[in-house]
Amino acid sequence: MNLIQSRSDLKPSKMDSDLRQRLLQALAKNESPSSDYDLSPDVVLPEGRKLRPAAVLVALVEGRTGPNVLLTKRAPTLKHHPGQIAFPGGKVDPGDRDAVFAALREAHEEIGLPSETVDVIGTLPCHETVTGFQVTPVLAMIVGPFEPSPEVGEVAEVFEVPLAHVLERTNYSIQSRRWRGMRRAYFTVPFGPYYIWGATARMLCALADRMTEKAN
């Protein structure tokens, strides 16, 4: 399977063209990497810490009333982060040529997304998680037919959230809970029955900040 097949032969609709231009302008902004610790300024991270590389696919798909963001609900039986909302993605394996390759591979494994239907726009700054990963968000548009096929035992559900919802900063709130003996604050952006929080919400918030301001 060719995971990074060129989509130059596609003829996107006007909406696709307009959205792609907006995404490119958003990526042109000069922003710092984000972190799960952004809301915890008192936390001092050790210099030289080793982070494990990971990648997620921030995929936009055309919906009935506009573009949507594709998300997954992790299986409740998983050892790590059961039942949480996440982008398709995972660790960058030694055989992956780069983060884009890893994100596309993971999306194919987790939700059956064919890479030939994906138009990769670019990557957002990395996000550091409290679990020791350095995650590269890969921004892309799904431009071909796609019927989700959740990986049994890994993904409980594949669903869509309107892009307009996650771009609206007033939909975000800051919550907190105790984690490993300390109070940790985090972003949330709930949608219907889906409680989107933590790293996923933080990366969406970073995208919202980029897309609602002019590139500098």
Query: How many Å apart are CA 149 and CA 147, to the nearest integer?
Result: 6
Q: How far apart are CA 34 and CA 169, in angstroms?
A: 16
pLDDT at 16: 73
Residue 15 has a pLDDT of: 53
Q: What is the largest CA-CA distance in the chain?
A: 53
Could you tell me the pTM of the whole model?
0.88
Please name the residues in contact with 129: beta carbons below 8 A apart, sequence gap of 6 or more: 35, 36, 135, 199
Q: Where are the domains of the chain?
A: 14-35+44-166
Q: Which architecture does CATH list for 14-35+44-166?
A: Alpha-Beta Complex (3.90)
Return the pLDDT at 58: 98
10-residue mean pLDDT profile of the chain (216 residues): values are: 37 66 92 88 78 97 92 84 90 96 97 95 95 96 90 93 97 86 87 96 96 62
136: β partners: 55
Contact 199, 187 (CB under 8 A): no
Return the pLDDT at 43: 75
Report the pLDDT value the prediction gives residue 191, as an integer from 0 to 100.
97
